[in-house]
Structure 1
Amino acid sequence: MSSCLEVEHSPIFVNGPIIVGAGPSGLSVAACLSNQGVPSVILERTNCLASLWQKRTYDRLKLHLPKHYCELPLMKFPKKFPRYPSKQQFISYIESYAARFNIKPVFNQTVEKAEFDVVSGIWKVKTQDSVYTSKWLVVATGENAEPVVPDIPGLKNFTGPVIHTSAYKSGSEFSNRMVLVVGCGNSGMEVCLDLCRYNALPHMVVRNPLHVLPRDLFGLSSFGIAMTLLKWLPLKLVDNLLLLLANSSLGNTDRFGLQRPKTGPIELKNATGKTPVLDVGAISFIQSGQIRVTQAVKEITKKGAKFVDGQEMEFESIILATGYKSNVPDWLEEDSFFTKEGMPKTPFPNGWKGYNGLYTVGFTRRGLLGTAFDAVKIAEDITGQWMKSNGPLCGNICSSCIIHLHFNKS
């Protein structure tokens, strides 16, 4: 039976896994494999490493969690970096990481289709230029591959600029403008905060309940406090303690139009992947009225918006802080392991391995910590199979040393 992958190009056989995506996820797997002497090929659709960070993030972005929770396997952040590294510092870390493990992705290669050939037991991955084949395929495009643009009635009729946060760089472009920010997650909050610093007038749309926690408590990160408490206390009790501390620090957010969900922040994160907002100053601007909270949008008009509560306002710009989604269904011919939304059907911590040599990394909804966790497991699993076929390159390779190296980062 013929396949659309049967093109003029001679297939390029990879004696190791094909990794799709040169972000932190793909680089983590490649580094762990390289550390064990296992080759791999990374296919990246853009011309750079970590393109989401380099091309689709705003200038003032910093890591939301302390750096030691965001390290990739086998390499720490430089000691001179602050607790919350900046965008540029993180990019420099990524570039140093790739250099250390001699990772050289094949850039400008958009994967158009990937499918498993049952007869040969081989994955065939087609880009616009070539066909790559391998026994293993690592999907490392992650859960944030494509911007989500909601279908808001009337959005196409708006006469002013409409951009997604993936295209937002700085509030300097919106100085003294009335701006509607659709979305109230970490990106929406930080964009509003950035707009205020350039004397813009942001109105933030809040459709659903959300948890807002202070990024730091008593000089320590809220996330770190939660992780420590979870070692000793039940999850629900930790959630209650976090909310008690958050209310004492930020006040009752309900009065600002930011109602909290009934489920606690950690429990909600584990169940749905919905991340609590870590406040870096936006709440004080909401309190002062510099950031105004609005209800859901009913309709966008030519010069503004109508809201579900009956209000109507004029705006000069609209920013969509509406998140990202997976693009796996667009190119992967596989419907048993992934959902139609492009997420693994098996939840964390067991969603890293599929069938027929298929692996996934960057889909845990647990940030870079989840990425590192899965990358270590994937590399260990592939290394064991690869050695049976190729033999170890040295005499002291241990099947568990990747995990030891990760957690004892030398």
Structure 2
Amino acid sequence: MTQQTDVVVVGGGQAGLAAGYHLRRQGLDFVILDAGAAPGGSWQHMWDSLHLFSPAEHSSLPGRLMPAQAGRTYPDARHVVDYLTGYEKRYDLPVQHGTRVEAVRRDAGRLLVEADSGTWRTRAVIGATGTWSRPFLPAVPGRDVFAGRQLHTVGYRSPAEFAGRRVMVVGGGNSGAQIAADLALDGHVEVTWVTRRPPRLLPDDIDGRALFDVATARRRALDAGRNDTGGIASLGDIVAVPPVRAARDAGLLTAKPMFSQLTTEGVRWADGSHSGADAVIWCTGFRPALAPFAPLGLRGPRGRIPNDGTRALGEPRVHLLGYGDWTGPASATLIGVGRTAREAVREITGLPA
């Protein structure tokens, strides 16, 4: 049996919940289909020591401030999960957990959303699937012959599982710096941090709120036809959260240039020398998880769907929310996703009934 609704939101993490908040305010009929068995989105799967870049009051979804976490300036991932769980309940958002969307198709002026629990016919779809389920691994020579353990950011939990091991952490972004710092500060792991270009830490006083303001200013400048300010990239690549600062100040966070290849027992550097390694942690980013939208034929370069704001250029009934700056300034953050969610819902409200 095919069910009818105004809007289907695919994904029930922070972006999906922000969309639900604004859909509720507009009085639209909608459903949120989420593959996760429980609330919290990707925050359920983060490593143990992860903390937000910003204090709780600057890390909130629309309508409800995140409460402070006792004893912490920057809340941890478990606190975020609790916040998102409470948010979902507070606004009585119709989230169907454990529901995997398989395909979105066109159907006589409407869209069909096919899930493992049934089919929905709707006038608009909001993609809020995020990126966590699509970790990216670079094509590094020797990756298939290395005899040690290889894992991506998504598989990392704590230094305890690497005690007494030699670990290569690859990646010059926030995840790479934080995981390298986590391992180095533990004192029981031999860590080598490897980056393709010299890492650039942001000034110590820059946190998530400032990053949101910078990203927003850049977007406004581009929209007004002014020169590109460079946005966050003009300041640096890595937020100097307390563990990163501590490792840096202790001289434990010095990056080496990228190795040329993996070998059976370790890595070979550009000068021909060799270092042994027991594990490689690839902190090399993600790609948007857009597989359900493949039947619509919207995919463009780099795995993205060409868009105007949140609206897909090839299908105006599809909106993309929370995938990064290409779908709205700071839209992959808690504080940033609310604004783009509001804009997406405003456009959907104007679609023909």
Match of 1:214, SS? coil
1:49 paired to 2:39: yes
**Quick one: distance in 1 between partners of 2:162 and 2:68?**
36
- Provide the C-alpha distance between the structure 1 equivalents of 2:58 and 2:212, rounded to a whole number of angstroms: 13
Larger Rg: 1
1:128-177 Cα offsets, whole Å, 9 max, x none, are 34222111111111244411122222122222211111011111111222
Q: CA deviation at 1:267?
A: 0.8
| Matching residue's letter, 1:67 | A
Partners of 2:62 and 2:259 in 1: CA distance: 43
Secondary structure in structure 2 of the residue aligned to 1:213: coil
**Residue matched to 1:351:** 310
Q: Is 1:12 matched with 2:12?
A: no
Give the Cα–Cα distance (whole angstroms) in 1 for the partners of residues 259 and 55 of structure 2: 35
Question: Following TM superposition, by how much is the alpha carbon of 1:342 offset from its aligned partner in structure 2, in angstroms?
Answer: 3.7
From the two aligned structures, give the one with the greater strand fraction. Answer: 2
Could you tell me whether the CA contact under 8 Å between 2:52 and 2:76 is conserved in 1? Answer: yes
Shift of 1:26: 0.7
Looking at structure 2, the residues matched to 293 and 115 of structure 1 have their Cα atoms a distance apart, in angstroms, of: 46
CA distance in 1, matches of 2:6, 2:82: 27
After TM superposition, the structure 1 = structure 2 runs for residues 196-207 of structure 1, keeping only pairs within 5 Å, are 196-199=184-187, 200-207=189-196
Say if 2:27 is the partner of 1:64. no
Which position in structure 1 is the counterpart of 2:295?
333
Give yes or no for the alignment of 1:212 onto 2:201.
yes
1:376 aligns with 2:342: yes
2: distance between equivalents of 1:128 and 1:341?
28
The match for 2:27 is 37
Q: 1:267 aligns to what? A: 230
Residues 126 and 319, structure 2, Cα contact 8 Å, conserved in 1: yes
User: Letter of the aligned partner of 1:364 in structure 2?
Assistant: G
Secondary structure in structure 2 of the residue aligned to 1:106: strand
Equivalent of 1:193 in 174, 178, 181: 181
Gaps of 5+ in 1: 1-9, 236-263, 390-410
Aligned counterpart, 1:311? 273
CA contact (8 A) 2:69 2:79 kept: no
Does structure 2 conserve the Cα–Cα contact (< 8 Å) formed by 1:304 and 1:315?
yes
1:249 is matched with none
In structure 2, the CA distance between the partners of 1:332 and 1:19, relative to structure 1 (3 Å rule), is: farther
Unaligned runs of 5+ in 2: 222-227
1:48 positional shift: 1.9
Q: Which amino acid aligns with 2:181?
A: L
CA distance in 2, matches of 1:170, 1:196: 11
What is the root-mean-square deviation in Å for CA atoms of aligned residues?
3.0
Distance in 1, matches of 2:258 and 2:172, equals: 11
Q: What TM-score do the two structures reach when normalised by structure 2?
A: 0.84
How far is 1:98 from its partner? 0.2
Partner Cα distance (1:225, 1:136) in 2: 31
Structure 2 CA distance for aligned equivalents of residues 73 and 225 of structure 1: 18
Using the size of structure 1 for normalisation, the TM-score is 0.73
Q: Offset of 1:122 from its aligned partner?
A: 1.0
Distance in 1 of aligned mates of 2:13 and 2:212: 27
**Does the 8 A contact of 2:201 with 2:237 survive in 1?**
yes
Residue 99 (structure 1) aligned to one of 86, 89, 95: 89
User: Structure 1 residues 309, 331: closer, same or farther in 2, change over 3 A?
Assistant: farther
Residue in 2 aligned with 1:5? none
Aligned in 2, Cα 1:344/1:143: closer, same or farther, shift over 3 Å? farther
SS in 1 for 2:21: helix
The residue type paired with residue 71 of structure 1 is: S
Which whole-Å deviations, capped at 9, do the CAs of 1:283-314 have from their partners, x for residues lacking one?
Answer: 55356443442211211111100122333100
1:154 alignment partner AA: G
Deviation at residue 77 of structure 1 after TM alignment: 1.1
Q: How does 1:156-305 map to 2 (within 5 A)?
A: 156-199=144-187, 200-216=189-205, 221=207, 223-224=209-210, 227=213, 267=230, 269=232, 276-280=237-241, 281-282=243-244, 285-286=247-248, 288-305=250-267
CA contact 2:211–2:232 (8 Å) conserved in 1:
no
**CA 330–311 in structure 1, closer or farther in 2 if over 3 Å, else same:** farther
Q: Quote the Cα distance in structure 1 between the aligned partners of 2:39 and 2:300.
A: 27
Partner residue of 2:322? 362
Distance 1:356 1:185, change over 3 A: closer
- Aligned partner of 1:40: which letter? F
Residue number among 138, 143, 148 corresponding to 2:126 in the alignment: 138
Shift of 1:351: 3.2
- Give the Å deviation of 1:335: 3.6
Supply the distance in 2 between the matched residues of 1:222 and 1:31 (Cα, whole angstroms): 22
Aligned residues: 335
3-state SS of the aligned residue for 1:341? Answer: helix
Deviates more, 1:88-97 or 1:45-54: 45-54
Q: 1:100 to 1:384 in 2, by over 3 A?
A: farther
Is it true that 1:322 corresponds to 2:313 in the alignment? no
Between 152-161 and 73-82, the greater mean CA deviation after superposition: 73-82
Shift of 1:330: 5.6
Aligned-pair CA distance for 1:213? 1.1
Percent of aligned positions with the same letter in both sequences?
23
Distance 1:293 1:285 in 2: 12
